[in-house]
Amino acid sequence: MSGKGRTWELTPTKEKISIVALRLFSKKGFKGTTIKDIARRVGITEGAIYRHFTSKDEIVNYLIAKISNDINLLIREEVLTQRDIKSRISKLIEVLINYAFENPDAFRFLTVYHILRHNGNNGRLPGNLLINMFREAYKKGQISVTPEVALSIIVGSIERLFILWEMNMLTIPRKKLVEEVKKTTLKALFNRR
């Protein structure tokens, strides 16, 4: 499961508003995107947007919840079901890279709003599951770096690689990229001095 093509249980207009808003927020930011911009791209009036969302903030909160739920589901189903911490980290890298490349607007939105962090938003954010996984592994002596460093190494690397991919500077196939990130990350997280 990659997260690609997940269905949004919405009316067609609300779905279109959400998808267009996601694209605009991910490229122009929250402040740089107006309700008028969203309405124009959707092909409706500003008033029509307010029949589906009460404000721009509500659209952002909806998108945060939607994307967080999708990624949390991927983490629970594909990462946390792995037998040991090395397998979990390997699968996490694969899941996040695939999600980023298959859902670029959503991933860009994540990086713009930094919602992979582990605090805030009532514990719904993907970072909560990940930081807890790393805390448990660190407490058991299974990884050699602090949980925050482990999370930063993985998420930061994937964010940078995503940027290179968007700039057409990434020339290696995704499968090889995943393997190289896995190898480098595992070495960094499990290298004991």
Domains of the chain and CATH, by start: 7-54 (1.10.10.60), 63-190 (1.10.357.10)
- pLDDT tens-digit map of 96-153: 999 999 999 999 887 766 544 444 555 567 888 899 999 999 999 999 999 999 999 9
Please count the other Cβ atoms lying within 10 Å of the Cβ belonging to residue 169: 9
Q: What is the mean pLDDT of residues 43-51?
A: 94
- Mean predicted lDDT score pLDDT of the chain: 87
Task: Report the candidate in 169, 39, 21 with the shortest Cα–Cα distance to residue 109.
Answer: 21
Tokens of 13: 């207009």
Tokens of 64: 């945060």
From CA 90, how far away is CA 85, in angstroms rounded? 9
Please count the other Cβ atoms lying within 10 Å of the Cβ belonging to residue 36: 11
Tokens of 109: 């939105």
